[in-house]
Amino acid sequence: MTDSELKKLRRVDLLEMLIAQSRENEALRAKLEQAEEQLQSREITLDKAGSIAEAALQLNGIFEAAEQAGAQYLENIARLSGEQAAVCERMEQKSREKAAAMLQEAEEKCRSMEQETQEKCAQMLANAERESQAYWTALSGKLEAFCAAHEALQALLPTLKDKITAG
């Protein structure tokens, strides 16, 4: 399997490959243990090998195969682990970049909303000041008219008072 094919695999697929390698390793270990038991119990069939030297060569082949399988297993684990770490690092970097972009976008929206709010507040304040000034102008006119009407009454009061006291 090539590196590009491995990179395309999902984490589950990588774990399944790792489990398969682990099972293969266990099977090879079982074979190795069986071979060691045969060696210890001296049940190696000499009639197949023909001589002790040939039997030793057969045992060496089994041990070499087991050793190669174990080395291959460890190499695959190291390679998969390195690839997984690289994938995780790339994903983390992408996540950080996305988070930074989202933060910048949120800050820009906040600035825009704050500016719009300030503009609306300024407009509302200007409208309130205009309305207040218009109300004050109308009220001042009414008060002046009221005072003017009362001045005429106040001017009539002394004459009315004189008529009441005289009469």
Residues 11-34 pLDDT 10s = 787 788 889 999 999 999 999 888
Burial 48-87 (b: 16+ CB within 10 A, else e): eeeeeeebeeebeebeeebeebeeebeebeeebeeebeee
Domain count, the chain: 1
How many angstroms from the chain centroid is the CA of residue 18?
A: 28
Lowest mean pLDDT among 43-47, 66-70, 158-162: 43-47
pTM, two decimals, is: 0.39
Domain of 143? 3-166
Q: What percent of the chain has pLDDT over 90?
A: 30
Output the six-digit token pair for 144: 């002046």
Q: What is the pLDDT of residue 49?
A: 47
Q: What percent of the chain has pLDDT over 70?
A: 83
> CA angle, 42 as apex, 40 and 43 as ends, to 5°?
115
